[in-house]
Amino acid sequence: MENTIKQLKEYLIKHDIKPSTIRLKILEYLLNNRIHPTADDIYKNLLDQIPTLSKTSVYNTLDLFADKGVVKVLSLNEKEARYDINTRLHGHFKCRVCSRVYDFAIPYDVSIPHELKGFDVNDIDINFYGVCQNCKNQGRKS
Stretch that binds Zn ion, among 1-9, 14-22, 46-54, 88-96 (CB under 5 A): 88-96
DSSP state of 139: T
97 binds Zn ion (CB under 5 A): yes
Residue 24 binding Zn ion, by CB under 5 A: no
Per-residue contact flags (x/-) with Zn ion for residues 101 to 140, judged by CB under 5 A: --x----------------------------x--x-----
Q: How far apart are CA 91 and CA 103, in angstroms?
A: 6
Nearest C-alpha neighbor of 1 from the set 37, 20, 22, 28: 28
27: number of Cβ within 10 Å: 24
The residue within the footprint of Zn ion, chosen from 43, 84, 85, 94 (CB under 5 A), is: 84
- Secondary structure (3-state) at 127: strand
Strand ranges (E), the chain:
72-74, 82-84, 91-95, 101-104, 127-130
98 touches Zn ion (CB under 5 A): yes
Q: Which is nearer to Zn ion, 34 or 68 (CB)?
A: 34
Q: Are 74 and 83 in contact (CB under 8 A)?
A: yes
**Which residue's CB is nearer to Zn ion, number 53 or number 70?**
70
> Could you list the residues that contact Zn ion (CB under 5 A)?
84, 95, 97-98, 103, 132, 135
